[in-house]
Amino acid sequence: MKIVKKIAAGLAVIMCVMGSTAMAAGDANVYVNGQKINEDAYIINDRVYVPLRAVGEALGAEVAWDNNTRSAIVEQTEDDVIVSTIATASQSVVTIVGNYKSDYISADAQNYNELYAHGAGVVIKSNGTILTNAHVVEGIQNLTVIFGNGDSYSGSVQYIDKVSDLALVKINKLGLKPMPFAAENSLKVGQTVIAIGTPLSVNHINSASKGIVSGINVNIGQHYLFTQSDVAINGGNSGGPLINTKGELVGINSIKYVGTDVEGMSFSIPVDTVNYVITSFEKYGKVLRPDIGITFTESWESKIGVPTKKGLSVTGSKNPQIQPGDMITHVNYYEVHSIADYNEAIKKSFNGYSVTLTFTRGGVVSVAEITTN
């Protein structure tokens, strides 16, 4: 963990309709929040019929039958949803522990006089692939992955990208339960979210905290934009998931602000950045970032967080098409107002060969295609 500290309520029932006439039991599959119900289902005239109790139990709801009134009663509270979600999601959350290498003593080790590090991670593939923060595994050895039931496995860092603060760890274990990812750009301010991790000590393995989304696409001076929430996270939560109440991954907990006058400001790497980095790892073995030979600065409004239409001012250029004093307004046709906006535009559109810049010079708008190194 570094200083700045790096460190649900909708329900979906998916029913598969497979015909318009009555069919035999077992010809339809019913999934509740991604989990198949192991009960026979029937299709009659385009409608799926399944035991109500099976659906209720899958949702964590109480189902009762009143024989006097011939009534089925289904009761579910927000607590039921949260408890069920955390129980299911925790199967995909791990604690990562390791020793600092002798030539790498991090700021955390100096601050806390500890020679070991621990953080959290998320199973993303059943073959033993685990997602975590880069700062959790950077500079450590004897890496051990611990599950909530106490099972532990030796692990190794497969890929690491310090710029995005993401890494993939591999253990020799098959048949794991991967955490599902939420759809990109599906979060809304005010939505309930839950963090799961191992704050402060391994004694607190798979601890959970709940809050709401406070902001989306927040610029905190890092390479990419972040999701802000008021979920409580502490040292050891790093690399752990931020999930919605469907148990889907919406972010990786990474940073919190600390101070005597600071409360409830936690930041997570959003799922679209996670998808981008994982895809880059698998395709290139690293994250490609273009060198366009141009330096630029943000407007003062952007630096202090005031909404602005101003672009990025060029302060230096090795490319004859772009000159100091030019203002870059679009990158690959995405509007940019901050350095984080620039990096987000590259993340969304860079093809590995060139970058298209729209810029103004003397009130004239021009477009230049920059070949990258």
Same domain for 256 and 233: yes
Q: What is the structure's pLDDT at 81?
A: 79
Q: Of 195-204, 248-257, 335-344, which range is least confident?
A: 195-204
Model confidence over 316-373: pLDDT tens digits? 999 899 999 999 999 999 999 999 999 999 999 988 888 999 999 999 999 999 888 7
Same domain for 212 and 350: no
> Whose structure tokens read 């994250």?
287
H helical segments located in 9-77: 52-59
Average pLDDT over residues 199-226: 87
Same domain for 207 and 128: yes
177: left (phi over 0), alpha (psi -120 to 50) or beta: beta
Same domain for 78 and 176: yes
CATH number, domain of 312, equals 2.30.42.10
CATH number, domain of 212, equals 2.40.10.120
Angle of the 52-59 helix axis to the 78-89 helix axis, nearest 10: 70
Model confidence over 172-185: pLDDT tens digits? 999 999 999 999 98
With bands split at pLDDT 50, 70 and 90, how would you rate the model's confidence at 102? low
Same domain for 98 and 166: yes
Total tally of structural domains belonging to the chain: 3
Same domain for 146 and 63: no
Q: Of 54-63, 116-125, 351-360, which range is least confident?
A: 54-63
The last residue of one of the domains, among 23, 58, 73, is 73
Q: What is the structure's pLDDT at 17?
A: 36
Question: Can you tell me the distance from the alpha carbon of 249 to that of 244, in angstroms, rounded to the nearest whole number?
Answer: 7
Same domain for 268 and 125: yes
Return the structure tokens found at 117: 């590090």
* pTM score: 0.77
Same domain for 35 and 5: no
Average pLDDT over residues 203-214: 88
Is the CA virtual torsion 353, 359, 361, 367 positive or negative?
Answer: positive
Determine what percent of the chain is predicted with pLDDT higher than 70.
83
Q: Of 17-26, 31-40, 77-86, 303-312, which range is least confident?
A: 17-26
Check whether 52 has a pLDDT greater than 60. yes
Q: What is the structure's pLDDT at 10?
A: 30
Same domain for 109 and 27: no
Check whether 302 has a pLDDT greater than 50. yes
Same domain for 272 and 177: yes
Same domain for 83 and 68: no
Check whether 16 has a pLDDT greater than 70. no
Q: What is the structure's pLDDT at 13?
A: 36
Q: What is the domain range of residue 271?
A: 1-11+74-287
Check whether 25 has a pLDDT greater than 70. no
The last residue of one of the domains, among 287, 314, 348, is 287
Residues recognised as catalytic: 135, 165, 238
The last residue of one of the domains, among 270, 287, 304, is 287
Q: What is the structure's pLDDT at 37?
A: 75
Q: What is the structure's pLDDT at 141?
A: 83
Same domain for 69 and 20: yes
Q: What is the structure's pLDDT at 4?
A: 46
